[in-house]
Each structure stands twice: as structure tokens, then as C-alpha cells.
Amino acid sequence: MKVLMFGWEFPPHISGGLGTACFGLTKALSGLGTEILFVMPSASGDEDQSAVKIINASDVVVERNTKNSENILEKVEFVRIGSNMVPYVDPVSFSELVKEHKLHQIEDYKISIGHKFKFSGKYGSNLMEEVARYAIIAGEIAAKSRFDVIHAHDWLTYLAGVAAKRVSGKPLVVHMHATEFDRSGDNINTLVYDIEKFGMEQADMVITVSNLTRNIVISKYGINPGKVVTVHNAVDFSNPDQKDVVRGVPEKVVTFLGRITFQKGPEYFIEAAAKVLKRDIGVRFVMAGSGDLLYRSIRRVARLGISSRFHFTGFLKGDDVQKMFNYSDVYVMPSVSEPFGISPLEAMRASVPAIISKQSGVSEVLNHAIKVDFWDVDALADSIYALITYPVLREVVAREGFKEVNTLKWEKAAREVTELYNKISGR
């Protein structure tokens, strides 16, 4: 089985769980004998290619002999949008960005014949332009490559997947890691919604990372339930944990690690921290990440008078993520809407007890994490206080959680995905 796979990021250059999931899944698929051509908009050259062959879209030349590359966007008519956009920000913040950067309308997605398009591979102000041009390059790659199945990860690559399908005639799988409703709540960006809906309608099979996401896909996008299948994410145990860390503080450490955005519920973490500190000042809280709510979170911490016990690290990646887990006594994920949530698995792999919101996909597969409603700040505070106060409870939750997460392997997910490949390709 040979798969043409489209993704927007791949370790070590990632901004969240999407790149981590792509790495874990492709590595496991490779172990089952699947050959993967992984296309990304801008490769740096230091990506791990032990399980995949990376194709850098920025290196692909558009040629005249690719019959459908020039008019692929005419076939995907609605992609001609009125403005650029930036993902993971609320409508107010986007409006401010438009004013600040004077973002202009995109009038031409064309790439000159015989030339390349240099993708940034980032999530900047010209993102939608890159998404559209990526679809053109996808058609070019599909015309030149041999493969059995197309697999596109998240909305950024759905148009590329559709383009590749139309050029090659091969079946398409789209992978929904997070819906626009997860990212934006009720204030969805209709352009992203349209791309998500179009990609799923055009796909032969839709993979969702949880039943929570599957229900959203069916109810809010109107996708045929018969072609929507849940394949839960997992955690990679191949890298040894870094246990040799020296803590600079004697207090217990409670950690939030993720994007500081509405979706991840950072404000609930801050309010719970204030409640815990009223009962026990021997605790430090860490918020590791970046996002559009960062400065508002910093101001709220200051107003609550807990700045001396609250630390903001900024975005962490690579070894620093593992170090943070090893510094931590408790991990908290109070997400408002979390399609899955790989970070709790990584924390539990490091023997850190986890508190997660009931509004998360990962809660479907975990029995040894403490679960609370994201909005119930009192329950969240009580759970944190219990874990930092009672050593036996913390040890039991950590030990049983480690055992449980050790059973959640990417190999299981890869076998389920392989069955889907075989089904839609007629094998």
C-alpha cells in the first residue's frame, strides 16, 4: 500500500498536536508496511524521514504537461475568498489584524508555469493564499506520483486532497483532527467551515479522532454517518523519558500546556489556581504555551494577586515539553471543546496524574484521569488540591494512569486506518 499524504506540519517543527499525531500515525503505518509520501508546504530538511518520504511543496515546479493543475481552483470554485485569514483567533482579533497589517484581497492564486511557489508553511496572514496554491501543487504531485490512496490531515490540506483525487482518480481519506466549532465556538469562520464541509463531502472516508468529533461532523456538517469512522489518537513510547531534571523550587507544580486560546480553557485554569492558593500557598502554577488569550491571562493573574505563584513559559517544543512534564506534579487540561487531546497522554506517560475536561475526546479512552466539566471551577480546584495534598492519591492516579496510557499505542490506530485504506481501495 502506497499513500500520498498531505499535512501542514511535521516534527520537529510543530505548533500543536496535529504534527505530533501525523508523526505517530505515519511511523506506525510504516511499521505495518505502508509506504508514505508526506507532502508539506515547507520542509526544513531536518524532519525525521525514517518512516516517510517528505515532499517539499516549495520545491515542486508547475509544468505545462500537468493537464489539470492550471484550472484546479476553477473546479473548487468557492476557494476564491475575499480576504486572507489567520487561524485560531477570534473574530475581534482577526479584525484587528486586518487593520494592523492591512491585509489585502487575494485576486490571483496562479503560479507561473515553470516556476515554484515558496510556501512559508506557517499560519500567517497569507494562509488562505497558501492553502489555495497548495491545492495546485497537490495536483502537480498527484500527476507525477504513483499511489493507492490519498490522506489529507485537517482543513488546511483538504483542498489539496480533493485536487489530488480529481487528477488521479484515487480514493480520498480526510482526517478531522479539530473542527471549526472546536476552535471558534459558535463564532465560526464560515470560510474554514465551507472548506471542511466540502472536503468531507468529496472524501470517500472521513476519520475523526473521537466520537465527540464524529458527532459534530454528522450533526453540524451533515456528513453521511456511514463514511465517518472514529480512530482514537495514541502516544509514542519510543523516546525515553527525561528523568534527570533538577527542580528549582520546593513547591508542588501544577501545569497547563497547550495553546492559550478559548478552546483550551486557560481562564478556568487561572480561576481554579486562585481558589487552590487560598487553601495552600505552597503550590506553583505554570501556563506553558502561547495564543491570543495570553495577555488577557497575564492581566487576570495580576488582578487576582497570584503572580508570585504563577508562571508563563511561552511556547514549548521538543525536549522542553518533556522536561516540563518531569517538573510537574499535576497536569491539567480544562478544554472547552477538545477533539482529542494528546498532551494528557504525554503527561501520564511521564507518570504525572492528569485532570481533564469531560468535554474532550481523550476522556473516551481514559479511566484513570480525573474528569471534570470545564466550567466547574470548584470541582477543578478541588481535584488539584486533592492531588497535591494527598500523596497516596497522587501516586495511585499516576501509577494506574501510566499503565493505562501504555496500552494506547499508535500501532492500533494504524491497523484501523489500514483497514479503511483497504476498504476504499478495493483490496
Q: What is the pLDDT of residue 94?
A: 40
Considering only CA atoms, which of 276, 289, 277 is closest in space to residue 384? 276
Enter the C-alpha cell of residue 86: 489567520
Q: What is the pLDDT of residue 81?
A: 34
Query: What domains sit in the chain, N to C, each tagged with a CATH number?
Result: 2-234+410-425 (3.40.50.2000), 252-405 (3.40.50.2000)
Q: What is the pLDDT of residue 297?
A: 97
CA distance 234 to 209: 10
For the chain, give the mean pLDDT. 85
Q: What is the pLDDT of residue 220?
A: 96
Burial of 300 per CB tally in 10 Å (0-12, 13-18, 19+): middle
Asked whether residue 97 carries a pLDDT value surpassing 50, the answer given is: no
Beta bridge partners of 151: 5, 173
What one-character-per-residue DSSP string does 299-351 give?
HHHHHHT-GGGEEEEE---THHHHHHHHH-SEEEE--SSBS--SHHHHHHHTT
The answer to whether 251 and 283 have CB atoms below 8 angstroms apart is yes
Asked whether residue 96 carries a pLDDT value surpassing 70, the answer given is: no
Query: What confidence tier does 424 reach under pLDDT thresholds 50, 70, 90?
Result: very high
Among 140-144, 182-186, 254-258, the range with the most confident prediction by mean pLDDT is: 254-258
CA triple 411-413-414, angle to 5 deg: 60
Query: What confidence tier does 314 reach under pLDDT thresholds 50, 70, 90?
Result: very high
- Over residues 395-408, the pLDDT tens digits come to 999 999 999 998 99
Q: What is the pLDDT of residue 102?
A: 38
Q: What is the pLDDT of residue 98?
A: 40
DSSP conformation class of 338: B
Enter the C-alpha cell of residue 75: 473546479
Q: What is the pLDDT of residue 239?
A: 61
Name the residue with higher pLDDT: 114 or 29.
Answer: 29
Query: What confidence tier does 213 reach under pLDDT thresholds 50, 70, 90?
Result: very high
